[in-house]
Amino acid sequence: MKLSTKKKIYQGIAFNLFRLMSGILVVVLISILSFIVVRGIGVISWDFITKMPEDGMTKGGIYPAIIGTLCLVAGSMLFAFPVGVLSGIYIHEFVKDNWFKRFVKLMTNNLAGVPSIVFGLFGMSLFVNTLGFGDSIIAGSLTLGLLALPVIIRTTEESLKSIDNVFREGSYALGATKIQTIRRVVLPLAMPNIITGFILSIGRVSGETAPILFTVAAYFLPKLPSSIFDQVMALPYHLYVLSTSGTDMEASRNMAYGTALVLIIIVLLLNLIANFTRSYLSKKVKH
Amino acid sequence: MIEAKNLNLFYGTFQALNDISMKVPEKSVTALIGPSGCGKSTFLRTFNRMNDLIPGVKIEGEVIVDDMNVYEKGVDVDNLRKRVGMVFQKPNPFAKSIFENVAYGLRVNGVNDEKLIKQTVEESLKQAALWDEVKDNLKKSAYAISGGQQQRLCIARALAVEPTVLLMDEPASALDPISTSKIEELIHELKKKYTILIVTHNMQQAARVSDHTAFFYMGSLVEFDETKTIFTHPVKQQTQNYVTGRFG
Amino acid sequence: MKKIFEKVIEGILMLSGTVTTLTVLLIIFFLFKEGIGLFGKSPTEEGFTVAVNRENPVNELSTDQIKNIFDQNIHNWNEVGGNNDSIILFRMDDLFNYYTEEELAGIDTNMNLLTSKIDEVIDKNKGIIAFISSKEIPQNPNSKLIHIKAIGLGSFFGGKEWFPTAQPVAQFGVYPLLMGTLWVSLLAILIALPFGLATAVYMAEIASPGVRSVLKPVIELLAGIPSVVYGFFGLIVVVPLVQQIFALPVGETGLTGSIILAIMALPTIITVAEDAIRGTPRSVKEASLALGASQWQTIYRITIPYASSGITAAVILGIGRAIGETMAVLMVTGNAAVVPHSILEPMRTIPATIAAELGEAAKGSLHYDALFALGCILFIITMIVNLTVQMISGKRTRNKLR
């Protein structure tokens, strides 16, 4: 066989194989999504979203779980967003490139790699037991917040890195201090990407189960929380309960499909919003 | 024999080459000069269809290499690139040993005979005037030698697949003066066997190494003649301005 | 005034800058503080003890030996270094086998009577081993307490049984959990690797920008789906599928967990590997093409070797993710704490064990400490994974600079 034909055949085989395997990946994702959408779409209704669970969680809605997840997202972001952004600013704008910076970055990366169940153990030991918060929104939020920190810090750093030094120098040349420059020039430019990271970490936080297992999540609660020291139900834990340890698993299957779909919709929406802010806000900043 | 006939090249809607026709003399050195963005590198890369890799490129006209239009349908691009060797601006050896760098072109073109490979590697390194410096260190990483040596290694690598044409895209721009003069000497030697096209920013270099020179401006071929004519009695005023440094 | 204000802000910034370091240190402190509590303690339930006849030469038993004695795998004292006497098991309830109800009348309230009766039984039976409340330790010279070897690193890592609520002694052997974790994660990576690398290469080198702009969000979405949703999907779709295909009694197996984990590890592998492949300089790829190499030859002879350290980092990171993943694995692997023999058996991983049992372990109990010790193992493994990855990618940036 001619050499060039042989080379073409090998290339054709390889490329088509790669194409096929990437295709399988898309098919897997689509089948997971469509499975849950098809089975869950009939379950979702206004009542499903706004009613309490009934009949041992086999009927009714998932209102308390939605509220619980909202509380946890709000609580964790209230803590993690400011701290994470400040931390990113400090690491990128203030620390010189020395061992300290490398060490802090190493620690941030290490924290990002810690499994979520270890966060759960840690949160239980520190917030629930040692600080005496008990199983509560505040304990769960802080645990989730710590988990989200590395993501927010890293996106902040990345977005600061992408800003050309001419903007900083331009501000300094007008006699602005470092803090003023960061606040009035650098941060507004970096905001679109920071917001994108913020939205994506909301997605991460709202889907996490392991960290809240022993810090806040309740199997079932007949009423909504009234203070940050109350337990709450949460969407991901609710799905776990419904699919593995409900009172009547067959009967609560539909509730599980609905809950899974709500979780997927949240992730999808957040991804869309993140992509939108990334492109929309960055355009607006440039013009 | 290599030649461009009525060649037009577009990046999207931007026309980078404008109706270029040029016959490159065989077994001699032809220099392409002109200010940045004049299209000389783009033109060089049409001879081995390296521009194909850029998305949105459209090409009209003909480029003839060995009596064949390389842009005709059904042309085997890999084979074309084997016949038309290329040396790049910065030395870009592969992360392999010196030996394997030179052997690479043979291996990807289906040569399995280790004895033949060994022999060709030696010959190529000798042709590139590198053999004496590396013959005891053939297994060493190509990154372990100096920049000038790396560039000669890249030339040896191009020679190993026995091309007829050698394209050089500012091959000495990243090198020190001593390494540069070595490369220039080498080009003198190589033109006995190969047709060489060299893009350069450096007017003195063009004057030193080339037999013919082509002056490009804004995507057009302004003037093409023997080097001594271009540098001493150019026909066009634009060329005159450029070679005397009064350009712009 | 302005100066002070700026100093205050800088102080706040610095404080925030150290928050991750602080968190890592706190995690280490709290995890190890609780985890270390497991070691050096006797594994019997608090308030209980094991006693034998005074004349029995055996003074010390390991948890394994006690377990085998009470499981009746060991029948004679000579098997544990004692006399040739057959072993007689004695638990509190067994008192009624030795005495009539009349003889034991009032025993619920009369502590002394209980103590003396137990002592009598121990005295009469040379081969007896009694599991009794420590309040009822006979003061009588006829019995003697057995010293139970404390839990050490050896029995923790080497122990082949994880049974924290076993009586008379709890079994804290991590070996089956460690094996379960490794089997499930490594198989997951084996499944994910071909798909992950193929997709990474495809996206970085082959796909048109249009195709890539479809694949990229697909992968971001895969990364975003919560692990419980994967677990739920696995439970409802993959579990029955595995059960049917391999004709198994249950579908919750190591393989099921590996499949789900593979899907979950893919985004990490693809993203990191694609970045690495994209990092190959254009000029090197062009040099290969200019020599007449086909695009595919360039990919596998030049691009992939060049990106190999980044690809290695991607794989290691994927393994790290798989080892630490909790909920999905908990939901689909069946959670049997036995040393695995085949991937088609139910298995239990370390994170799943923590998630499943922490709710039942009383704070401060041995079981609670043992789960934190598991957390320590997990933490150390992921630390090693992270440091390795950072070492590899650090080396890569240095190479690029040269």
Among the partner-chain residues C17, C33, C299, the one whose CB lies closest to the CB of A87 is: C17
State the average pLDDT for chain C.
Answer: 86
Closest residue in A to C295 (Cα) is: A11
For residue B79, list chain A residues with Cβ-Cβ distance below 8 A: 4
| Average pLDDT over all residues of chain B | 90
> Rounded mean pLDDT of B34-42?
89
Report pLDDT for A207: 92
Note whether C395 contacts B: Cβ–Cβ < 8 A. no
Taking contacts as CB-CB distances below 8 angstroms, the residues of chain C near B70 are: none
Q: In this structure, are residues B157 and B101 in contact, taking their beta carbons and an 8 Å threshold? A: yes
Contact B78 A6 (CB under 8 A): no
In this complex, the residue of C209, C289, C290 whose CB is nearest that of residue B55 is C209
Using DSSP's 3-state secondary structure scheme, residue A54 falls into strand
Q: Do B94 and C297 touch (CB under 8 A)?
A: no
Residue C250: left (phi > 0), alpha (psi -120 to 50), or beta? beta
Whether a cis peptide bond, with omega within 30° of 0, leads into C164 is no
Within 10 Å of residue A47's Cβ, how many Cβ atoms? Answer: 11
More confident residue, C47 or A152: A152
The answer to whether the CB atoms of A121 and C358 lie below 8 A apart is yes
CATH superfamily of A46-286: MetI-like (1.10.3720.10)
Residue of B nearest to C209 (CA): B55
State the Cα–Cα distance between residues C316 and C310, nearest whole angstrom: 10
Structure confidence at residue C231 as a pLDDT band (50, 70, 90): very high
- Least confidently predicted of C134-143, C213-222, C314-323, C349-358: C134-143
| Domains contained in chain C, CATH given | 48-150 (3.40.190.10), 175-401 (1.10.3720.10)
Give mean pLDDT, residues C66-89: 82
Least confident stretch, B74-83, C32-41, C52-61: C52-61
Structure tokens at B139: 């297994």
- Residue extents of the structural domains in chain A: 46-286
Question: What's phi and psi for B167, nearest 5 deg?
Answer: -100, 130
Q: Do C201 and A18 touch (CB under 8 A)?
A: yes
**How far C145 CA lies from chain A's nearest CA (Å)?**
35
Chain C CA closest to residue A26: C218
Look at residue C396 in the predicted model and tell me its pLDDT. Answer: 59
Query: Whole-prediction pTM value?
Result: 0.85
| Chain A contact partners (≥3 CB pairs within 8 A) | B, C
- Residue C124 above 90 pLDDT? no
To the nearest whole Å, the CA of C216 is away from the closest chain B CA by 19
**Mean pLDDT throughout A139-154?**
94
Mean pLDDT over A154-173 rounds to 87
- pLDDT > 90 in chain C, percent: 43
Per-residue confidence band for B246, with pLDDT thresholds at 50, 70 and 90 = low
pLDDT at A174 over 90: no
- Residue B141 phi/psi, 5-degree rounding, is -65, 145
A10 interaction partners in chain B (CB closer than 8 Å) = none
Contact A271 C378 (CB under 8 A): no
Residue of B nearest to C282 (CA): B92
- Identify the top-confidence range among A18-22, B1-5, C394-398: A18-22
Record: contact B105-C293, CB cut-off 8 A: yes
* A217: DSSP letter: B
Size of interface A-C (CB pairs under 8 A): 248
Express each pLDDT in A129-145 by its tens digit: 999 998 999 999 999 99
**C287/B88 Cβ within 8 A:** yes
How far apart are the C-alpha atoms of A73 and A137, rounded to whole Å? 10
Q: Give, as one character, the DSSP assignment of residue B71.
A: T
For residue C268 the two structure tokens come to 């990490």
Measured in whole angstroms, how far is the alpha carbon of residue B186 from the centre of its chain? Answer: 13
Q: Lowest mean pLDDT: which of A33-37, A265-269, A274-278, C42-46?
A: C42-46
Query: Where does B25-49+73-243 sit in CATH, by number?
Result: 3.40.50.300
| Block residue for tokens 């577009």 | B10
Chain B residues close to C302, C-beta within 8 Å:
94
Res. A244: pLDDT tops 60: yes
Query: For C239-264, what is each residue's pLDDT tens digit?
Result: 999 999 999 988 899 999 999 999 99
- Sequence-ordered list of residues with C-beta below 8 angstroms from that of B227, at least 6 positions apart, any chain: B31, B206, B207, B210, B211, B212, B213
Chain B hits for C306, Cβ within 8 Å: 94-95
- Show residues of chain A in contact with B110, CB under 8 Å: 3, 6-7
Question: Are A117 and C14 within 8 A, CB to CB?
Answer: no
C27, C203, C327 member nearest A118 (Cβ): C27
Residues of B in contact with A6 (CB under 8 A): 110
CB contact under 8 Å between A209 and C194, yes or no, is no
Angle between helices C254-278 and C175-201 (to 10 degrees): 40
Domain ranges in chain B are 25-49+73-243
Instruction: Give the chain A residue nearest B79 (alpha carbons).
Output: A4
Residue A120 CA to residue A109 CA, distance in Å, equals 18
Residue C42: closest CA among C67, C62, C14 = C62
**For chains B and C, what is the number of CB pairs under 8 angstroms?**
72
Test C331 with A24 for CB contact under 8 angstroms: no
- Among B180-184, B200-204, B213-217, C134-138, whose mean pLDDT is lowest? C134-138
Dig out the tokens for C194 from the structure: 């071909």
Query: How many of the other CB atoms lie within 10 Å of CB of B147?
Result: 12
Contact B105 C301 (CB under 8 A): no
List Cβ<8 Å contacts ≥24 apart for C202-210. Answer: C202/A18, C202/A19, C202/A21, C202/A22, C203/A22, C203/C270, C203/C274, C204/C274, C204/C277, C204/C278, C205/C277, C205/C295, C205/C299, C205/C303, C206/A15, C206/A18, C206/A19, C206/C295, C207/A22, C209/B55
CA angle A19, A22, A24 (to 5 degrees): 110
